[in-house]
Structures are given as structure tokens and as C-alpha cells.
């Protein structure tokens, strides 16, 4: 999902908002006014003032990409330096481009250190062209001021220093001269003025020095920071002071206060408490008699109380204090008996000092981060004993999980729970859009899934099904959509009017990681119901011979700080989130980024996935934006989850490389380049982009000009593209990379005539090949993100392309996806030409644009212009497409696409040659023909040997040869080395639903293959 964060990074920024600077900020004043002494500002110019405590503003500058007459051309090196000086500090005059209404910028030093981690923007005055404009900025403050503000010693709402272990601190950019002190105040109230730090209960002296090597290894982004340390005696006292407010102060050599800041203390909490808490059983657990014990990790809390409620809405029947374990920071309480089990609800009241609450002590009543179930809209945790019969459907413990011999046998079907049945009239009304729809075995949807399973689909990948924030579980609405034209804006207006109160959302906004989502249950208010019904869904899919994959989102939460649905941050403030250099929460994912590198967030992930695998019999997990996770954590998680489940659990995820952690800046990431040899799958954007054309996020003209391998690059130009023969060959080579499992070391003759490994093939500046074995690549050409394949083809194919040819193009994409080495991933509806009426981001576009129709009456194309807020810029180019009668398929075309999809799926299932296990297997057996600079464009020919160097287990055939002819014309291609071989069209295609492919032929005497236009033909050799 969250490809938006990747786009934001293009501005040279990190997170979209700077929370730390504005939440709980307190300006610590030095003086009330500062007189300026500089020449008047020239018309059409903005003067930016910047004050640094150490008076080194001249080393800093403004990087601005939008607003100046001459925008900055290169990050860091091309800045507008604060070369002028006045009584306030440094300043720079920036001439502005005519007509600009704002300027976007970052203030940074020569090393890329940002004064504010977020992009900044200032509105320009209406008279700036004649009078100019001035703004003022302070060190460590993301605000901009229209008049010179009081100078400060710092902002204790920010945290620019780091507490990395009990004895070690770091302060990037701080001087190595002078002296430092660590101050603490039990109940908050620290402040500073010209006389020094006030409000403290005490302080300890810090020693200046270099950071220990072990610390630098653990925190590589702080390697160059100034190191500070506590004495052994002071470090030993840290645990007793942990609930206090802390601040670090810098003094010059004369003992004058220079600046002060709060601290980012996750490292210290890990060192002092988490190492002893990591093996604790958190949440609610039960003894043999069903008596619950409640445990929550809150090392900085002053007290924690357990509140118990008889039901989801009643007032508290009991409030009892919990007991703190001093060594681990875990608070616990054991109930007197089992009366609360599977009946009562609970919350915790945590008294804790929070930087998000202006560094004051707050009483936060909050649900359990380890909640196993909750009341409607996540207001109370439910005392759920998952081992009890009351929370299990009939036959739960003895059900049969479909067998799986090897990960490369997996075929994934990505499905949204509500999409599956919301519009299916063959599902009982009470089950539509719910977990229980998967138990209605005779519905259109379940018949469709069972047919796919019979053909070779193995796993249903469910979009987020944990507890999420974006749907009101108690009273969501269903909009009334007007009957309007295919290119009308009326439908989207009706959807938009209720899009934040309707029953649809993808659900990538977690609240409770261990709880089933309530909007998919028939009674969200009863904590037992969602547990039982989720299990019924899993059991129903297993009974249909399908394994279950959960889409999990541990990289962010829906809310943080003191938000009403903030859970983690109201128990251990700031600990669970990844912070920017000023102490604000990063939003690289889209929302509040969790700090999975911390011990207890990592533990939460491992415990959560283990619970789903063991208690809900989930078979596989897909990790949203896995690249934001530490590789070591994902590897440990794999081992622990397999142990918990008692079987192998397949993991895969989005191993994208971006954000504050990019290129292993803070830890070794679980990104594509690092996943080699792990056995964990990464989504294969190489296949996606080569087959579809362009990139994930094309917009405007690029939707037309970047034709892909199957939809016309060079061989069928659409009138707007100007691609060359070399572009066609380049994309063909990338398809070969994908067909060979995107293995790093597989080699073939590329379009330049050189034998190269997949890693030596260029993919937008990256190495195309990244996998160590086929199970490490998730091949896809369509997913919930971005346009469907049918919709992207609507842009890229010539507008006069017939419906029959559009279906054939879709089938070509299917063939490449399903017959490539690796694990194929299919977006639900891809097999039936699914459309979202050209929507590129339907996460909140309602049932209307996300409709799935398993009756095959419609593919949902031309149901109106998609939502304006995400697609409005492209409406002028979308409207003619939606109105084009040649594009919208009829039921016959939809069924034809489904049948061909199942044919290719069955061919994959029929032989292990399309499911090779190892890189050695691929290197020894897979070969491409029609390669090099003289190849026939538009034709990829792949051979796989089933008999040499030895007979391959499950091969069924001595050889398979696949010809992917994407051109508009038939092709004949000879392979001399196959002369005399007995090859014939695969029997599934000979008797299948595609009459065109049946005319494909092979001439044994010449080794020549003939394949119709826009056809993928599979030939097999039986002897």
C-alpha cells in the first residue's frame, strides 16, 4: 500500500508532518525581543532569518525546490546559505519566481542534517512583488514566524539528543567542549532561563567522549554524534528514575547555559527494562482453570490500574491496582477466579509522564496492546480465552489444512473480505461483506474460489483483517449511487460524500494487531463473535482446499501520541515509534511509523504473528512495507512463528527501499537487495513494470506513453507513445529476468549481445536480479494498489483495439505471471478483467468502485469517473476512455478470460517445471531462445528441460517450450536444436477454452514453432 511515502521522498524530505515540534512545545526564552540591523528586503524577495544557539548559522542554508527564481538543483550542495548576519543571527535573501504564492524548502547543514525533518512551506504575501517579505526561524523549531521571536535555549517538546543505553547518550552536532548535565523532574516542570535550568529534582554530570563501538554498530545513523556518558553509579540509578521527565543541557566553558533538549530514550528503555521483559507473556493469559492474568509493559508509568466491565457498555465493576516488576517494567494482576473469562471487558489506566502532553503526567485509560478481541470501535478489550471451546466453531481443532509440498507450489489470490461478497446476491444478506460469506459454500464467490483451487490456486491472501480504525463498526453507511453515464462524475460524488463513514476501506490503519476486525463480524459489539467468525472463515477456506494468508501492517498505526485510538503511545510515550532528529514521529509509511528496531515493538510483531499462526491456523503472512523492518527481526520472526505453528509458515512482503531507514541507514533492512538467501518472498516490481509498462505511479501523459511488453511497446503504438525497437527489446529482457525467477545469478544473452546475469541487467538504476531461489520472488502484474491490469491497458492500448484483443492482452499477462519461476500473485478479479473504472488508488473508494462480480455480468468498467481527490487531475484523459464502447467487456469476454486464466493455472499445476525449487534447477534447466540484438521483437521463447541433467521430480514432461507472442501478427520461430523432438501443444490448451491457441503448431522436421498473434502457447515433449 503506501506508495505515497515513496513519492514524498522525492522532495528531499522525510515525514509529512513534524509532530514533535508542535505537540507539547515550550519556548524557553532568553530575551523578549531582538532588534534587526540589516538593509531593507528587495521587492520580489523573501528574507529568511535563522538563529542557532552556537551562532553557526553560516554553515546552514535553505534548500528550496519550489518558489525561487532559480530553485536548488541538487540536494545539500545547492543551497541558499545564511551568509548575512544581524542581531537575530544569520539570514539569506532569495529572489522569487514571478507568480509564486508559496515557497517550499528545508533548512539544512552541509551534511544533510535538517533543522526540521518535514518539508516546510510559507505562504507569500500578496504584495511581495513590491515590498518583499521576511520570516524568522529558530534552531530545533519547525515553526516560521512573521516577526522576530524571543530567542530560546531550546524546546522541550522536541528531543534532539538520544539516550542509547543506561550509561550512554548522544547529541548530534553538539560541541565537544564545555560541559553537559542530565536533569530530571519526577512530575515534569523542567524549564530554562538565563539563570539556568529550573524545576529539576536533581541532575547528574555527563562525560564527553566518543560513542562505544557497540553503540555505533547498533545505531549507525548516530555514528558521528557527540558521545556523553553517565558514571556507573548514576547509570545504576536510572531504573528508579525512569518515570521522570529528563532533559540534557549544554554549558560553555564559563558555565553559561547554551541549550537544552529532551531525549529520545528508546535505547535506554531497551537496555534497562526490555532485555528482562522480552520473554514475558503480555496481554491476558489463563491458567488451567481459566483464571486470567493481565500483564502490560509500562516501564515509565507511575502506576497502572486494571478496569473491568461486565459488558461492552456498562460502567466499571472493578478497578484494581496492578503490581510492577521493577526489573522488567511489566505490571500484572491475576483475577480471583474465572468469572471474567469470555464475558468481561477491560482497560488499563496508566499514569505516565508524556512529552506529547506538554511533558506532564497524564492518566490515560487505554486498551491492551495485546488485546485478543475488543468491543465495537476498539473502546474496550475483551477477556478472550482463545483455547476455550466457547470461541471455536465446530470441528475447529480437527480440521484439515491443505497440504503444501514446497513454497514454489504456492499460488496467491489477493482478496478483500468485503469485496468478496458485498454485492453477491447468492450470499445471505446478513453474511454479505462478512467473514461468514466464506462459509456459504454454494454462493457465486465460493464456487469461483473452489474452481480456482481445483485449477491450482493454493492461498487466499486476505487484505487487512486485524482491528483497524477506518470503518465505524457500529453504524457504517451504504451510499445511494445515481444511475449516471460511464464518464459521469455523479457516482464518485455520491461515494465521496460518505467515504469516511461508509462500510469500506482497505484497512491499512491498525489499532489492535491481535484482534479480528469487527466490521466483518455479524455483531461487532460482542467480543466473542468476531473471534469465532474469523475462525469460521479460515475453516471455510481450508475446507475449499485453500490456505489462508494474512496481510499484516506492523510498520505503522492509525493514531499515535494522545489520540483516542492511540494505544502504544499512551502507555510508553515515544518508545514504540520511529522518531526524526527533532523527536517527532516519522510518517514514511503514510502514518505514524513504528520503531520495529526496538526490542518490545519487535516482540509485539513476533508474538502477534505467532498468535495468528497458532490460534487462527493462518498459513502465510504478507508484510506491508517490509522494507521498513529490520532484516534480523524478520528472520527471527520466521523461526519463532514456525515453532509456534508447528509447521512452516511462508512469509513475503513489500521489500521497498525508502524513507529514513533507506539504504540501511539505521539498521540492515528487509529490503530486496538484502533478502537474498532468506527464503522470504519479495514483490517483483521488475515483472510488474515490464509487463504493464512505465512504473507504479504513472500520471498524466505517462499513462499513455509508457507502453509495456504486452500492451504495445513499439510494435503497436497508441499514437502518443514514441518508443523504439530498443525499448521493446529492453522490456523483453526484463520479462526474461522475471521468467527466470528474478534470480540474481541467472545468465542469458541480452539485447546488446552480452551474456549478463540478471543482476547486471539495469532496472531504473538498480540490479534487476535479486533472489537466491525462486521462492524469494512474488510475481505480480496487478495488486490492490494502482490501476488494475485491464484499466492500465485501457490507457496504453490503441483506442481502436478490439475487445477480443483486449482479452488476449490480459491473457498474455496472465501467462507470463503464472508460468514464471517463483510464486504467482493474482489480484482478485484479475482473472475476470476486473476494473475500478480507472481508479489508481481505491483504498477509500467505497463498494462502488471496488465491486467484484462473481456472476460475471460486469467487470465494473465505465461506472463513472473515479474519485476526484485522487484522480481528478486525470479526469480529462479518463472520460473518453470510460465512454469508449470498444473497451467495456460483456459477460462472454469475462468468462473467456476466466477460463483461459484457469487453463494457465492448471498448466502450472500439471508440472513442477513451472515450479522449480532452487536456483540450481533454474540455471541448469531453463533457457531462452530468440535473444540478443537480432531477436524477433515481441516474442519471448522459454524452454525448460525436464530430463537433463537428470529427470526432475514431478516433471510430467521431458521438456516444455513456451512462446509468448505479444505482437499483433503471428510468428514462426525455429529452434534448430529441437529438430526431431516430439513436441505438441499442451493438452489443456488443445482442449481448452481458447480456440485461437489451438492453431499453434510445431514442425518436427525443422524445429519450427508457429504461434498466432497475441498468444502464449505451451508445447510439451512427452518422451
- Residues taking part in catalysis: 624, 654
Strands 292-297 and 330-334 come out as antiparallel
Say if CB 149 and CB 160 are below 8 A apart: no
Question: Residue 964's beta-bridge partner residues?
Answer: 940, 1016
DSSP string, 854-922: TT-S---TTSSPPPHHHHGGGHHHHHHHHH-TTTS--HHHHHHHHHHHHHHHHHHHH-GGGS--SHHHH
- CB-based contacts of 991: which residues, under 8 Å, 6+ apart? none
Distance from C-alpha of 560 to C-alpha of 511, rounded to nearest angstrom: 10
Distance from C-alpha of 2 to C-alpha of 4, rounded to nearest angstrom: 5
Distance from C-alpha of 420 to C-alpha of 418, rounded to nearest angstrom: 5
Which residue reads 551568509 in cell numbers? 83
Question: Residue 303's beta-bridge partner residues?
Answer: 351
Burial class (CB in 10 A: 0-12, 13-18, 19+), 400: exposed
Say if CB 999 and CB 971 are below 8 A apart: no
Report the candidate in 933, 948, 881 with the shortest Cα–Cα distance to residue 733: 933
Task: Output 754-761 pairs: Cβ under 8 A, ≥24 positions apart.
Answer: 761/733, 761/734, 761/737
Distance from C-alpha of 353 to C-alpha of 301, rounded to nearest angstrom: 7
CA angle 642–404–508, rounded 5-degree value: 60
Say if CB 92 and CB 82 are below 8 A apart: yes
Query: How many residues comprise the chain?
Result: 1023
| 45-51: strand order across its sheet | 84-85, 90-95, 45-51, 133-138
Report the candidate in 563, 590, 732, 593 with the shortest Cα–Cα distance to residue 661: 593
Beta strands in 567-706 (DSSP E): 592-593, 620-623, 650-653, 681-684
Say if CB 276 and CB 599 are below 8 A apart: no
Distance from C-alpha of 581 to C-alpha of 354, rounded to nearest angstrom: 18
Distance from C-alpha of 1023 to C-alpha of 1020, rounded to nearest angstrom: 9
Q: How far is CA 897 from CA 126, 617, 807, 967, 992, in A?
A: 58, 33, 6, 19, 12
Distance from C-alpha of 328 to C-alpha of 281, rounded to nearest angstrom: 12
| Element (DSSP H or E) covering residue 320 | strand 316-321
Distance from C-alpha of 621 to C-alpha of 663, rounded to nearest angstrom: 24
Question: Residue 249's beta-bridge partner residues?
Answer: 181, 260
Say if CB 348 and CB 416 are below 8 A apart: no
Q: What would the 3-class secondary structure string for 401-442 be?
A: CCCCCCHHHCCEEEECHHHHHCCCCCCCHHHCCCHHHHHCCC
Output phi, psi for 993, to 5 deg.
-90, -10
Amino acid at each position: 500500500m503506501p506508495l505515497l511515502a515513496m513519492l514524498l521522498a522525492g522532495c528531499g524530505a522525510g515525514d509529512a508532518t513534524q509532530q514533535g515540534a508542535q505537540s507539547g512545545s515550550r519556548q524557553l526564552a532568553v530575551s523578549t525581543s531582538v532588534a534587526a540591523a540589516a538593509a531593507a528586503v528587495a521587492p520580489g524577495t523573501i528574507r529568511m532569518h535563522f538563529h542557532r544557539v552556537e551562532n553557526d548559522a553560516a554553515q546552514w542554508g535553505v534548500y528550496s525546490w519550489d518558489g525561487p527564481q532559480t530553485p536548488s538543483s541538487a540536494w545539500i550542495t545547492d543551497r541558499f546559505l545564511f551568509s548575512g548576519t544581524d542581531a537575530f543571527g544569520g539570514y539569506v535573501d532569495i529572489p522569487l519566481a514571478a507568480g509564486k504564492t508559496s515557497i517550499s524548502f528545508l533548512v539544512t547543514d552541509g551534511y544533510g542534517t535538517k533543522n526540521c525533518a518535514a518539508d516546510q512551506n510559507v505562504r507569500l504575501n500578496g504584495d511581495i512583488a513590491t515590498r518583499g517579505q521576511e520570516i524568522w526561524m529558530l534552531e530545533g523549531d519547525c515553526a516560521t514566524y512573521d516577526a522576530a521571536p524571543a530567542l530560546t535555549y531550546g524546546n522541550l517538546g522536541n528531543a534532539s539528543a538520544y539516550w542509547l543505553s543506561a550509561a550512554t547518550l548522544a547529541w548530534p552536532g553538539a560541541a565537544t567542549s564545555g560541559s553537559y548535565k542530565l536533569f530530571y523532574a519526577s512530575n515534569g516542570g523542567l524549564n530554562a532561563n538565563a539563570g539556568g535550568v529550573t524545576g529539576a529534582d536533581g541532575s547528574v554530570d555527563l562525560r564527553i567522549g566518543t560513542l562505544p563501538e557497540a553503540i555505533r554498530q547498533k545505531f549507525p545513523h548516530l555514528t558521528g554524534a557527540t558521545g556523553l556518558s553517565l558514571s556507573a553509579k548514576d547509570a545504576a540509578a536510572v531504573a528508579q528514575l525512569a518515570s521522570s521527565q529528563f532533559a540534557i543541557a549544554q554549558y560553555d566553558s564559563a558555565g553559561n547555559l547554551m541549550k537544552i533538549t529532551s531525549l529520545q530514550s528508546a535505547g535506554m528503555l531497551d537496555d534497562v527494562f526490555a532485555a528482562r521483559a522480552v520473554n514475558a507473556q503480555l496481554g491476558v493469559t489463563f491458567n488451567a482453570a481459566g483464571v486470567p492474568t493481565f500483564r502490560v509493559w509500562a516501564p515509565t508509568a507511575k502506576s497502572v490500574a486494571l478496569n473491568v466491565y461486565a459488558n461492552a457498555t456498562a460502567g466499571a465493576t472493578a478497578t484494581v491496582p496492578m503490581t510492577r516488576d521493577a526489573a522488567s517494567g511489566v505490571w500484572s494482576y491475576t483475577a480471583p477466579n474465572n468469572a471474567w473469562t469470555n464475558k468481561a471487558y477491560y482497560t488499563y489506566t496508566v499514569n505516565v509522564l508524556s512529552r506529547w502532553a506538554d511533558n506532564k503526567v497524564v492518566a490515560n485509560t487505554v486498551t491492551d496492546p495485546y488485546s485478543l478481541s475488543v468491543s465495537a470501535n476498539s473502546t474496550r478489550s475483551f477477556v478472550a480465552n482463545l483455547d476455550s471451546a466457547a470461541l471455536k466453531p465446530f470441528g475447529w481443532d480437527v480440521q484439515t489444512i491443505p497440504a503444501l509440498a514446497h513454497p514454489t507450489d504456492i499460488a496467491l489470490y489477493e482478496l478483500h473480505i468485503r469485496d468478496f461478497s458485498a454485492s453477491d446476491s447468492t450470499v445471505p444478506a446478513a453474511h454479505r461483506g462478512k467473514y461468514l460469506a466464506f462459509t456459504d459454500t454454494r454462493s457465486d464467490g465460493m464456487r469461483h474460489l473452489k474452481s480456482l483451487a481445483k485449477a491450482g490456486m493454493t492461498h487466499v491472501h486476505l487484505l487487512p483483517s486485524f482491528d483497524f480504525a477506518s470503518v465505524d463498526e457500529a453504524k457504517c453507511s451504504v451510499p445511494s449511487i445515481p444511475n449516471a453515464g460511464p464518464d459521469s462524475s455523479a457516482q464518485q460524488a455520491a461515494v465521496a460524500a460518505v467515504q469516511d463513514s461508509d462500510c469500506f476501506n482497505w484497512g491499512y490503519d491498525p489499532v489492535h494487531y491481535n484482534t479480528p476486525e469487527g466490521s466483518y463480524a455479524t455483531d461487532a459489539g460482542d467480543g466473542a463473535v468476531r473471534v469465532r467468525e474469523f475462525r469460521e472463515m479460515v475453516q471455510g477456506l481450508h475446507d475449499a482446499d485453500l490456505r489462508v494468508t494474512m496481510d499484516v501492517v506492523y510498520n505503522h498505526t492509525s493514531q499515535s501520541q494522545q489520540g483516542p485510538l492511540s494505544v502504544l503511545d499512551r502507555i510508553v510515550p515515544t518508545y514504540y515509534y520511529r522518531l526524526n532528529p527533532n523527536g517527532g514521529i516519522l510518517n514514511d509509511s503514510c502514518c505514524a511509523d513504528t520503531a520495529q528496531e526496538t526490542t518490545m515493538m519487535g516482540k509485539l510483531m513476533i508474538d502477534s504473528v505467532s498468535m495468528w499462526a497458532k490460534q487462527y491456523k493462518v498459513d502465510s503472512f504478507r508484510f506491508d512495507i517490509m522494507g521498513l523492518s529490520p532484516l534480523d527481526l524478520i528472520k527471527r520472526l520466521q523461526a519463532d512463528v514456525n515453532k509456534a505453528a508447528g509447521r512452516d509458515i511462508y512469509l513475503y512482503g513489500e521489500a521497498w527501499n525508502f524513507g529514513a531507514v533507506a539504504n540501511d541507514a539505521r539498521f540492515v533492512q528487509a529490503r530486496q537487495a538484502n533478502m537474498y538467501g532468506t527464503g522470504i518472498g519479495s514483490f517483483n516490481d521488475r515483472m510488474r513494470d515490464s509487463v504493464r509498462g512505465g512504473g507504479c505511479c504513472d500520471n498524466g501523459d505517462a499513462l499513455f506513453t509508457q507502453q509495456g511488453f504486452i500492451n504495445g511497446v513499439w510494435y503497436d503504438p497508441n499514437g502518443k507513445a514514441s518508443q523504439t525497437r530498443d525499448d521493446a527489446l529492453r522490456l523483453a529482457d526484463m520479462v526474461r529476468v522475471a521468467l527466470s525467477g528474478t534470480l540474481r545469478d541467472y545468465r542469458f544473452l541480452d539485447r546488446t549481445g552480452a551474456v549478463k546475469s540478471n543482476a547486471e541487467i539495469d532496472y531504473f538504476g538498480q540490479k534487476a536480479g535479486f533472489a537466491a531461489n525462486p521462492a524469494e520472488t512474488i510475481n505480480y502484474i496487478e495488486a490492490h494498489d494502482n490501476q488494475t491490469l485491464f484499466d492500465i491497458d485501457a490507457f496504453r492500448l490503441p483506442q481502436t483495439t478490439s475487445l477480443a484483443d483486449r482479452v488476449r492482452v490480459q491473457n498474455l499477462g496472465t501467462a507470463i505471471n503464472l508460468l514464471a519461476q517463483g510464486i504467482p500473485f493474482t489480484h482478485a478479479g484479475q482473472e475476470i478483467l476486473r476494473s475500478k473504472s480507472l481508479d489508481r488508488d481505491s483504498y477509500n473508494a467505497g463498494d462502488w468502485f471496488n465491486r467484484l462480480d462473481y456472476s460475471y455480468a460486469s467487470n465494473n468498467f465505465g461506472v463513472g469517473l473515479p474519485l476526484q481527490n485522487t484522480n481528478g487531475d486525470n479526469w480529462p484523459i479518463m472520460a473518453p476512455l470510460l465512454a469508449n464502447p470498444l473497451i467495456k467487456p460483456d459477460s462472454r469476454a469475462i468468462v473467456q478470460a476466466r477460463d483461459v486464466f484457469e487453463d494457465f493455472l492448471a498448466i502450472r499445476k500439471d508440472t513442477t517445471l513451472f515450479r522449480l525449487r532452487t536456483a540450481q534447477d533454474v540455471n541448469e534447466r531453463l533457457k531462452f531462445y530468440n535473444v540478443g540484438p537480432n531477436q524477433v521483437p515481441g516474442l519471448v521463447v522459454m524452454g525448460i528441460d525436464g530430463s537433463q541433467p537428470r529427470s526432475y521430480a514431478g516433471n510430467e514432461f521431458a521438456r516444455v517450450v513456451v512462446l509468448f507472442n505479444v505482437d499483433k501478427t503471428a510468428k514462426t520461430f525455429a529452434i534448430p536444436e529441437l529438430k526431431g523432438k516430439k513436441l505438441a501443444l499442451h493438452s489443456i490448451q488443445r482442449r481448452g477454452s481458447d480456440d485461437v491457441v489451438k492453431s499453434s503448431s510445431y514442425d518436427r522436421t525443422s524445429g519450427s514453432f508457429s504461434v498466432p498473434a497475441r498468444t502464449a502457447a505451451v508445447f510439451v515433449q512427452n518422451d
